Amino acid sequence: MPPHRNAEGVPFPTGVLNVDKAAGETSFQVVRKLRHLTGAHRVGHAGTLDPLATGVLPILFESATRLAEFAHRLPKTYVADIHLGFVTATDDAEAEPQPQGDPSALTAEDIAGALAHFTGRILQEPPAFSAVKVDGKRAYRLARQGEVPKPPAREVEVYGARLLDFVSGASAVARVEIRCGSGTYLRSIARDLGRRLGVGGYLGRLMRTGYGPLTVETAMVLDSQTSAESVRGRLLPAEVILPEMERVRLNVEQEAMVRHGRSVRVLPEPGPGAVRAHDSAGRLVALGHTDPLRRTFVPEKVLS
C-alpha cells in the first residue's frame, strides 16, 4: 500500500512520536487528534495510559504501527502517589475514597520495607475495574453491573520499586517509583501495598516517566500550537521502540526479496531468536527470525 498523502500530497513518514499525555484525555483521543492533525493513514499507540495518568505515550505512525507488539516488551517507569488509609472501588481516584485504617503511625522505613516485597516476578491480581476477562466478560463490565469480579492473578515483573517521598499523618501519601514490565497494574500495587501495611491504599497521581529509551523530559506536549510540521520534526525512527535484538544487513537484492515476504540467506548468519533486518543505509526493513534448518532470515513484519 502506498503511503497516505495529506491535502498537499505529501506522504506522512513512518516513525514514533514521544507524547506527554495530559490528564483527562484517553490514549485513543490522542491518537484521533494526531490522525486528524497529520493526515496520516495509520496511527496507533503502544500501551494505554488511564485517563487520569500523564506522561510518556508512544504514538506510532504508518508502518511503525506494525511494531506495537514488540514495543510492549520494553520496561516502563512510573512515578505514583499512593494514598494510605483509604480504599476505593476502582483502586484509584476515579471512585470515592472510603476510610480503611489509620496510617498515622507509619514511617518512611515501613513503606520502603513493604515496597521491597513488590519486586521481581510477582503474582498480581488485576483491579476489578480492568479490561481483564472473567468468565469471558470484561471485569469492568461486571463491576459496573454490581458484581464483584475476581480477575485471576497473573505473573508480572517489577524490576525496581523505591520510595521517593513520604508525607505522614492521617492522610499519608507515599510517592514511589516503579520500573516494571508489560501488564503490571500500578493500581494493584497501590491496593496491595495498603493491604500489606494494614491500612488500605489507592492510586492517586500517576505519571509514566519512561518507556524504554523514551523519557517524559523529551516528550512533546500537544497544544493549540501543535502542527503536522512540528510533529514531523519530532518523529523518531521506528526502531526506537524495539527491544534489543540481533541485526542483519541486507543488500539491494535481499531487501527486494524480504519486502516481498521471501526468506533470504544472510552472512554473518544470525543466531536464534528475534532478528531485525536493515537496508544498506541502515534503515529498518523488517523483523523476523532465523530458520535453523534452512539457515535463512524469515521476515514476519515488513515495513513499507
The phi, psi pair for 63, rounded to 5°, reads -65, -20
Count of CB atoms situated within 10 Å of the CB of 169: 12
CA dist 132 and 130 (Å) reads 5
Contact status, residue 212 vs residue 241, Cβ threshold 8 Å: yes
Count of CB atoms situated within 10 Å of the CB of 194: 27
Q: b vs e for 254-287, b when ≥16 Cβ sit within 10 Å of the residue's Cβ?
A: bbeebbeeebbebeeebeeebbbbbbeeeebbbb
CA dist 77 and 184 (Å) reads 11
Residues 6+ apart with CB under 8 A from 196: 114, 117
Largest CA-CA distance found in the chain, in angstroms, rounded: 70
CA dist 101 and 155 (Å) reads 28
Q: Which of 216, 231, 223, 220 is nearest to 62 (CA)?
A: 231
Q: Look up cell 475476581; give the residue.
A: 150
Q: Which residue out of 20, 50, 81, 192 is catalytically annotated? A: 50
CA-only gyration radius of the chain, Å: 22
**Grid coordinates given for 265:** 540467506
In the DSSP assignment, the letter for residue 271 is -
CA dist 235 and 18 (Å) reads 8
**Annotated catalytic residue 92:** no
Q: Which residues are catalytic?
A: 50
